[in-house]
């Protein structure tokens, strides 16, 4: 199925959780802020989100340094 | 209606009625005949020139220590006109006073932002001095105190609120409640992500200007800024993490802090529309 990640169409397996997607694309869950269909998500909730066709994700990944 | 016979001009920040068709040199001769620098609307002008209604004129004698009531006007004499009043009314939150935060705070104080909320739990250490705006004689001081002292030497008219504490998610809404913009200047990526989350959840109307990817000495031009998460902005190259073998260097850290401070000014001055990239 297709979902939108940061504006780009991405093909993912149906039934994939948000946490599994983050692992797959190599983004540590503690280092991202995620909006799921326009709502900001608490990190503890990433595992409970099962992605569905046409979901919109915005993933901001932070690397260290300041 | 007859044309008014006078015009209103700000001379060293004092609103003054002057005869129509007055000139810069006439104003200098009247208000400060020994001035050797004349600034018209934010730009130094040597030649005599006509002055119009609403103009701002600053007269400076080099080397002279101005009176306290003149100083604030002179500090902002090179700003674009109309900018000072808006910045002076603004409050900006700075989360973390390390390499990014100390540089952002200095730029904003120099720009005349009225109030800064400074948050940092840490003390100044020798290893900070490679990129952070502190001095050897400040080692061991809380960063917020050292930064407040340095800002006071640059622009004593900035109102400072100091929080020498580690910012938790639950404190974000209290600490930054009245800010027009908040600047994320943490080092730790988990802290960055938590602040972005807390700002979207607790203070969704306030823009956050955050950073990701500034370590090393890669090309300066790869540090950019983009809009994310609605009203947040992200500065950096997105990939250059600080890690063993890639340290944090003063130039790229201050480049990123410059992007952040410039974005803050653009937000405060209404130069960024709601859906614009930046």
What is the CATH classification number for the domain harbouring A6? 3.10.20.30
Contact state of B248 with A63 under an 8 Å Cβ cutoff: no
Angle between helices B143-154 and B99-111 (to 10 degrees): 30
Contact state of A66 with B100 under an 8 Å Cβ cutoff: yes
Element containing residue B263 per DSSP (H, E): helix B250-268
Check pLDDT > 80 for residue B274.
no
| Strand order from edge to edge, sheet including A8-11 | A8-11, A2-5, A56-61, A32-36, A39-40
Query: Which one of B197, B214, B229 has the shortest CB-CB distance to A65?
Result: B214
Question: What dotted CATH number matches B84-268?
Answer: 3.40.50.720
Task: Check if A56 contacts B (Cβ < 8 Å).
Answer: no
Query: Is the distance from CB of B166 to CB of B192 less than 8 angstroms?
Result: no
Task: Specify the pLDDT at position B14.
Answer: 86
Task: Specify the pLDDT at position B72.
Answer: 82
Residue reference for tokens 């910045």 = B87
Task: Check if B98 contacts A (Cβ < 8 Å).
Answer: yes
Task: Specify the pLDDT at position A51.
Answer: 97
Residue A23 domain boundaries: 2-61
Task: Check if B235 contacts A (Cβ < 8 Å).
Answer: no
pTM of the model: 0.91
Which ranges in chain B are annotated with CATH 3.40.50.720? Answer: 84-268
Average pLDDT value over all residues in chain B: 94
Count of CB pairs separated by less than 8 Å, A with B = 85
- Our count of domains for chain A comes to 1
Which of helix, strand or coil describes residue B254? helix
Contact state of B215 with A65 under an 8 Å Cβ cutoff: yes
Task: Specify the pLDDT at position B179.
Answer: 98
ipTM confidence: 0.96
Give the residue-averaged pLDDT of B240-265.
97
- Does residue A66 form part of some domain? no
Confidence of residue B277 (pLDDT cuts 50, 70, 90): low
Task: Specify the pLDDT at position B79.
Answer: 84
Task: Check if B101 contacts A (Cβ < 8 Å).
Answer: yes
Question: What dotted CATH number matches B6-77?
Answer: 3.10.20.30
Which of helix, strand or coil describes residue B75? helix
Give the residue-averaged pLDDT of B108-127.
97
pLDDT along chain A (66 residues), means of 10: 96 95 96 97 96 97 97
The secondary structure of A2-21, three-state, reads EEEECCEEEECCCCCEHHHH
């Amino acid at each position: 199925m297709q979902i939108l990640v940061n504006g780009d169409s991405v093909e993912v397996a149906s039934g994939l959780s948000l946490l599994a997607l983050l692992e797959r694309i190599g983004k540590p869950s503690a280092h991202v802020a995620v909006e799921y269909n326009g709502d900001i998500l608490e990190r503890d909730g990433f595992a409970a989100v099962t992605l569905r066709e046409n979901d919109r994700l915005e993933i901001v990944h932070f690397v260290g340094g300041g | 209606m007859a044309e008014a016979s006078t015009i209103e001009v700000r001379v060293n920040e004092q609103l003054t009625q002057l005869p129509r068709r007055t000139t810069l040199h006439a104003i200098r001769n009247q208000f400060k005949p020994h001035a050797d620098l004349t600034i018209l609307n934010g730009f130094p002008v040597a030649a005599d020139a006509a002055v119009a209604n609403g103009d701002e004129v600053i007269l400076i004698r080099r080397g002279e220590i101005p009176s306290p009531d003149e100083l604030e006007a002179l500090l902002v004499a090179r700003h674009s006109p109309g900018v000072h009043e808006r910045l002076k009314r603004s409050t900006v939150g700075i989360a973390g006073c390390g390499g990014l935060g100390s540089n952002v705070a200095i730029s904003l104080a120099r720009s005349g932002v009225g109030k800064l909320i400074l948050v940092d739990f840490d003390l100044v250490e020798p290893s900070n001095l490679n990129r952070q705006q502190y001095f050897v004689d400040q080692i061991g001081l809380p960063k917020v105190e050292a930064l407040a002292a340095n800002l006071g030497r640059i622009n004593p008219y900035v109102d400072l609120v100091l929080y020498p504490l580690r910012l938790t998610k639950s404190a974000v809404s209290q600490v930054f409640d009245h800010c027009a913009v908040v600047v994320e200047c943490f080092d730790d990526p988990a802290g960055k992500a938590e602040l972005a989350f807390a700002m979207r959840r607790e203070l969704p109307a306030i823009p956050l200007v955050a950073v990701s990817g500034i370590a090393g000495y890669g090309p300066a031009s790869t540090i950019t800024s983009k809009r994310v998460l609605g009203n947040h902005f992200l500065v950096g190259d997105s990939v250059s993490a600080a890690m063993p073998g890639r340290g944090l260097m003063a130039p790229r850290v201050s480049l990123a802090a410059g992007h952040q401070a410039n974005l803050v000014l653009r937000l405060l001055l209404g130069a960024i529309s709601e859906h614009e990239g930046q």
